[in-house]
Every structure is written in structure tokens, then in C-alpha cells.
Amino acid sequence: MIKKLTIWVVALVVAFAGLTPSTTEAYSAYKADKIIKTANRYLGTPYEFGAKYGQTRTFDCSSFTKYVYAKNGIYLPRTSRDQAKRGTAVSMKNLRKGDLVFFKASRHASSRITHVAIYAGNNRLLHTYGQGGVRYTKFNDYWKSRYVKARRVL
């Protein structure tokens, strides 16, 4: 309850106090750091497709993002496809820490979203898939070839 109240107060201050974009960007950077810190607690947690939201023994990509963002007062839908409808569009070249990045299945012509990751800054993604579970990976050619879009929810 206190987290929700804090977020509402900050939103009202931003809306009515005429804060500059740099002030709101600083708040977004602060929130992104908190999200990354929360996510880091789960490094190595095993991947399980369809993992039940709310438990932390295993995650799939979207239960992980939903859980980590909710712990920081940002509520997302359960699936990556639905998460991709939230926030505002951001280009790959304008990614900021805390943005959600969405991907299609490898070697598929369709742009149907099948995966979500958190952009962690410095050309790194924080996500979960396959063996190794929650981890950092480089936003390399493999991931860039699967890229569909990114959304800013902070």
C-alpha cells in the first residue's frame, strides 16, 4: 500500500509541479536500478515454461518480468504478448535500463512475440530461458535478429 501511495504521489508531483524531463528521467533511472537490483536476487533461478506467477522457485520469461516489476510497484500482464502492449514504444537505439525488450522465436518469419527481457544497460539483457535460468546475456546479433520491439513502462 505504501509503495502504491508513493508512486501516486510522485506521479502527481510530476504532473502538476512542472518538473523537467530530466527530473522524470532521473526518477525512471532510479526505478530501473531498483528493478535490476530486485531481478539480481533471482540470478540462477531455473527456467520453467508456464511457471506459475507469484512463486519464485522457477520463472518463465514473462512471470519473471511481471514479478520483478510488481515488486517495484509496476503491474504488468502475465504474458509477453500482453506486456508488449504496455508503456510507450522505444527504438532499439534508444533503449534505457529498465525497458522491456520483446523477441520472436528464432528462425521464424512471423514477428509473433515469444520472449521478453529487461534491458540492463551496457548492451546487456536480463532474462530467463532454458538451462541456466535467470541470467545476463549480451544483446548480440542472435538477440538482435529476433528483436520485435521494446516498450518503456517506467
Residue by residue, pLDDT tens for the chain (154 residues) are 565 545 555 555 555 555 555 667 888 889 999 999 999 999 999 999 999 999 999 999 999 999 999 999 999 999 999 999 999 999 999 999 999 999 998 777 788 999 999 999 999 999 999 999 999 999 999 999 999 999 999 9
The whole-model pTM stands at: 0.84
Domains contained in the chain, number = 1
Catalytic residue list? 61, 115, 127
- What pLDDT is attached to residue 10? 56
> What residue ranges in 8-133 does DSSP mark as E strands?
88-90, 100-104, 113-121, 124-128
- What pLDDT is attached to residue 8? 53
Domain with residue 109: its CATH number is 3.90.1720.10
- What pLDDT is attached to residue 124? 98
**In which domain, by residue range, is 95 found?**
2-152
Q: Go through 12-28 and write b for each residue having 16 or more CB atoms within 10 A of its CB, e for each that does not.
A: eeeeeeeeeeeeeeebb
